[in-house]
A = this chain, B = another copy of it.
Amino acid sequence: MEKLIIIKIGGNIIDDEVKLTSFLQAFANVEGKKILVHGGGKLATRVAEAMGIQQQMIDGRRITDAETLKVVTMVYAGYINKNIVAQLQANDCAAIGITGTDGNLLQAHQRKNKEVDYGFVGDIDVVNTELLSKLLNDHLSVVIAPITHNNQGQLLNTNADTIAQEIAKAMTNLFEVHLIYSFEKAGVLKDVADEDSVIKEINPSNYIRLKEQNKIFQGMIPKLDNAFAALESGVKRIVIGNAEKLSELINGSSGTNIIHE
């Protein structure tokens, strides 16, 4: 099967103009079929503040009321998505920027939670793999902003990590999928304070051992559990590492490689 590389870019890179430009040059140089998923929470918070729209966070998650949904739609699907696409085009990378509502790419339902009302937040039900394949086969790299919809006219705010993962899982029927989570850290660290303590490789059996021995920073456990779920669903490899070393993450010489045994 043909290789497909899906890259999630972390918020700290989006927020740093110099790092973003250099990341996008590296992304443009990645060979073959590729998808970029981005968020942009910090910029959304700044625009909300400028507009006097109060932001409420619970356990690090944004409560998306109607006004906040407007802001994230403007910032993610408008400002960030289009600036990324313009820079990719300038680097000779034919790119198209879309959201989950475009071509019904990501159909979702509004999250119902008894304890916390997250507002207009969507959990994904269906990925339109046919649309993605068509765009990729038309030699377009697809840049995805984390807005989905319920197919009844309601836009929904959806976590960009989850979008990358759901797309990765769905595309395994058609491609050999490599999923890269790129952020500001060097990878999965044994010691969160030590950037040199990157665990180079984790497979299902040493993951159990590392967890038992408490050798993984607790904050990474949910991310890793999700990564192993993606692996079980047929994703070939997941890499977690520094966005400033994109080509090394792709060739396996940097970051943490999560692989089958």
- Bound together, the chains give a CA A86 to CA B149 distance in angstroms of 7
Would B102 and A153 count as touching, CB distance under 8 A? no
Q: With A77-B77, A78-B77, A151-B90 in contact, is A85–B102 under 8 Å at CB?
A: yes
Query: Using a CB–CB distance below 8 Å, which chain A residues touch chain B?
Result: 47, 50-52, 70, 73-79, 81-83, 85-87, 89-90, 94-99, 101-104, 131, 134, 138, 140, 147, 149, 151-155
Could you tell me the distance in whole angstroms from the C-beta of A69 to the nearest C-beta in chain B?
Answer: 9
**Known contacts A76-B78, A77-B82, A82-B99; 16 further A-B pairs (Cβ under 8 A):** A47-B74, A50-B51, A74-B78, A74-B79, A77-B77, A78-B79, A78-B81, A85-B101, A86-B101, A86-B154, A86-B155, A87-B153, A90-B152, A90-B153, A98-B102, A103-B140
In the complex, chain B residues whose CB is within 8 Å of the CB of A153? 86-87, 89-90
| A86 proximity list for chain B (CB < 8 A) | 101, 149, 153-155
Q: In the complex, what residue of chain B is closest to A91 when comparing beta carbons? A: B153
With A76-B78, A77-B78 as contacts: A103 and B96 at CB distance below 8 Å: yes
Q: How many copies does the complex hold?
A: 2
- Min Cβ gap A29→B in Å is 16
Give Cα A258–Cα B158 distance, bound, in whole angstroms.
46
Residue among A73, A82, A87 with max Cβ neighbours from chain B (10 Å) = A82
Question: A52 touches which one: B50, B103, B138, B147 (CB < 8 A)?
Answer: B50
10 tightest A-B contacts by CB?
A: A78-B78, A74-B74, A90-B153, A74-B78, A77-B78, A50-B51, A86-B101, A96-B102, A86-B149, A96-B103
Q: How far is the CA of A25 from the CA of B47 in the complex (A)?
A: 32
User: A155's closest neighbor in chain B, by CB?
Assistant: B86
Q: Are B149 and A89 in contact (CB under 8 A)?
A: yes
**Sample of 11 A–B contacts (CB below 8 Å):** A47-B51, A50-B50, A74-B75, A74-B78, A78-B79, A78-B81, A82-B101, A86-B101, A86-B154, A96-B102, A97-B102
Chain B residues, Cβ within 8 Å of A74: 47, 74-75, 78-79
B residues in contact with A98, CB < 8 Å: 96-98, 102
